[in-house]
Chain A
């Protein structure tokens, strides 16, 4: 039995927006795998909740006319992994979210929840960041879209207005067409774990597969929020595919990332792992894109 002061259930986005305005102190609950745990810990105990779990319109993956991949915010991790659209165009996202917790968590956990809680360790976040995803937010004024890197403000805080709910994650065609990517989750065990560090890399190779026309990399748990590595990206972009560039790329991430010392892992350890993951994820991405070192 949870210490819920009141529960308001929304069946539509409009209803959710109205409930947000009516109950400014209420927290949004999507799948509950984060909110209910905080509530049990006492952190959110006695709160009012707005449940958006019942808004089925926010479930599913679709390809829009302009080629944008639209992932409804309540789509569960397991449904993202199983989606043929995801598998065809951005398989790495399906692979990344297939490493969240365990199977039951992947059935309840939503991509909206995973991004809105503003957690740096979220397995979906680094890949969404690395693929220039757009966050769609719906409020009383209508729809607002912003790049996911602007959505994250600081640890646990995202740019969600008091009248809004997140309604979709969008991946524009130019962000995925021609790219191949790989995500490596580094954790202390192979299931039911949170990332010590997560690294998502993708690459777009030239037609002859010799040159990296574009390289993007993002991390979870390398800073307070998921982050990109502009220095490393600039270093590799336009370069010929080579082991030296991969090595230099890996070392360059240290210019960008800022992991902290915590009881879960030391800063030095996280930095070391981050470099190794960057190299391995880039190498794998190059291979997936048809290149060779």
Chain B
């Protein structure tokens, strides 16, 4: 059994030596450099652009403006395409914009022979604007007199969906109910992968070839085709190693523009290499979501009725749009089932950078609001946060009517049991019960719910190809992408398991090239290990059948008596090793009797899905006079089914916890209220948690095999980012009695809240 073992990452050596090639490493140094002139107002129209000075700078090849681009709106979201026009992503993008909708929008682009000339030219361009009023706040943008951002969406509402269950209005009439109401704000944050988005394009044989730091090569191919108005087969996208993505690169970013530039310049090689500042503003961000929750609670703690309104700040362009907020909203009635529920989620255009996918896809926002609120409920009725959750959380056997997902195990209690032990929660809870000094400690926790993959909202399919080499090893290709999370390694383990060969004999082809890689939609929704597993198992089964059929020719044994074990053809009746797979493969390829290249390729489509669950436990020390929180401990416990590679799983959880620490305590992209200008779009002023801001991270797993998965696995990529921030917030509440209504809980917020609470 190699599934379940902590085998070394297949790319570890290359990455440890600096040899692994990322996009910029592969780009020929002759590339022309493109640099984008971004809008310096938050909203308005470009009246004119003066490019004369820019074009006069030596080394400048060409300046393109918003007046030059085709008027072909295209969508950018990294979603599977829908052949049903009603379910297609909103196409509200142009390559460059005359109607600029946020500070940082794309207005012009300089192409130059070198980066210095490109930068000089970008600064030399003069843009004249007709300025319009702008709006940054999501609820302000919903007001009737708010500035209108997208022509096709009067009122700025991109999406509004609802949940109605039971009769909320009637239920709240029940006598004796306690009303607990709260508003919870989550911030605009950015992915901050260490490799910025970079891509380059050139033309060969009349087709455009784009190499990009992307999570979704096959989707980018489609979007480039749409944006340029050319057949999708005329586009080839190559995805090498990428330095992290976390959802930002689950969008077509600058690949369409880069492809267009090459096209406009006779197919010359053009590179767009985003600066860190651009990555923060002109790529994608996480939706800031404001949630309003009302719970009507009986004195025994049961919910009579619950209501949620959530307002998601989309920014200027649709990108992933309402899907993010809808996913968060849909967690609400499921996590704490209640007979009478009303939910409304609104996704609203504003003059901010576009929000797209980011690790957790609406669930970190929803869990911050929902799990902070549960602790507020506990505080209001005097309940213990653990006991309350045990009584009211989604029970074993719960089935969701829409997705048909089922909670097969008593998972929530199991993960809480484990988390309580790992965090020593109960002892600390007692110890910290009655503190009065300026420095106080507290413990808090939060649960999360996360739905693996995108069925039944969208297509879920994956394709795989396996090619047998002369030595009995295989190349394996899938459309699913390695972005640092370790899927190449997990896939190699699955393939080895399914074929009966040593894991070293599986060579995953890490690079996706849409010309040769089978179709797959890519890294998002924590889907790849789950859905990829189906395609790998099916393809391995097909390849194995072909191998054994050939083995029958060579061994004259019936296929039913043959198997592949540890890379050898074995007669199962007595276990005798008949030949190695390498011997068979060499013979098969070079046989003068019957030569055959043994390969297999298949697509697997799933129409089911799996819940993934877990929790976080946080311990904090709050220095009240300094308004500072020190995170002492953070524990995450996950049930993501059977672990494929425990060591990599733990490592992945660390990364999600780290993101949750920043979300809870420090990260927020800020904007100037007067101009809409981003204030801290760099790694100094945007407070990503450093090595010194992290405590030791503790990870636990509850391995309940997922019955619907061939390897018993389900989502783990995004879940670790979902519950840490509310656990930290609840620990601060436990320490100080102050229920903070927003993330991140910065010293600035604590200064205000502690002042209000009379603690300062």
Contacts and interface: CB of A to CB of B under 8 A. Distances in A.
Contact of B115 (A1, A102, A191, A273): A1
A190 B672 contact: no
Given A45-B120, A45-B123, A189 B689 contact: yes
Interface in A236-284: 263-266, 268-269, 272-273, 276
A46 B693 CA distance: 38
B679 interface: yes
B195 to A, nearest CB: 18
A293 to B, nearest CB: 15
Interface stretch (B507-515, B633-641, B745-753): B745-753
Contacts of A190: 690, 692-693
A269 B626 CA distance: 10
B116 to A, nearest CB: 5
A11 B670 CA distance: 44
A269 B747 contact: yes
A237 B125 CA distance: 59
A276 B626 contact: yes
Chain B interface secondary structure, helix, strand, loop or mixed?
loop
Contacts of A102: 690
Nearest to A101: B684
Interface residues of B, number: 29
A188 B679 contact: no
A215 B474 CA distance: 75
A6 interface: no
A42 B116 CA distance: 11
Contact of B690 (A189, A196, A273): A189
Contacts of A264: 685
B744 to A, nearest CB: 10
Given A190-B692, A192-B690, A3 B116 contact: yes
B626 A273 contact: yes
A263 B679 contact: yes
Interface in A163-201: 186, 188-194, 196
Contact of A186 (B626, B687, B760): B626
Contacts of A46: 120
A46 B121 CA distance: 12
B120 A188 contact: no
Contact of A276 (B120, B625, B683): B625
A170 to B, nearest CB: 31
Given A1-B114, A45-B119, A272-B751, A193 B687 contact: yes
Contacts of B679: 263
Contact of A191 (B123, B627, B690): B690
Contacts of A269: 627, 747-748, 751
A188 B666 contact: yes
Contact of A189 (B626, B692, B751): B692
Given A190-B693, A276-B625, A265 B684 contact: no
Contacts of A273: 626-627, 747
B691 interface: yes
A263 B119 contact: no
B663 to A, nearest CB: 14
Contacts of A2: 116
Contacts of B672: 263
B746 A188 contact: yes
Interface string B364-382: 0000000000000000000
Contacts of A266: 748, 751
A281 to B, nearest CB: 12
B123 A42 contact: yes
A155 B270 CA distance: 42
A106 to B, nearest CB: 14
Interface of B: 114-116, 119-120, 123, 625-627, 666, 670, 672, 679-680, 683-685, 687-693, 746-748, 751, 760
Given A192-B683, A263-B679, 13 more contacts: A1-B116, A45-B123, A102-B690, A190-B693, A192-B690, A193-B684, A194-B684, A265-B748, A268-B751, A272-B627, A272-B751, A273-B747, A276-B626
8 contacts: A45-B119, A45-B123, A189-B687, A189-B688, A192-B684, A263-B670, A266-B748, A273-B626
A-B pairs, 8 with minimum CB distance: A190-B692, A191-B690, A191-B692, A188-B687, A276-B625, A269-B751, A263-B679, A3-B116
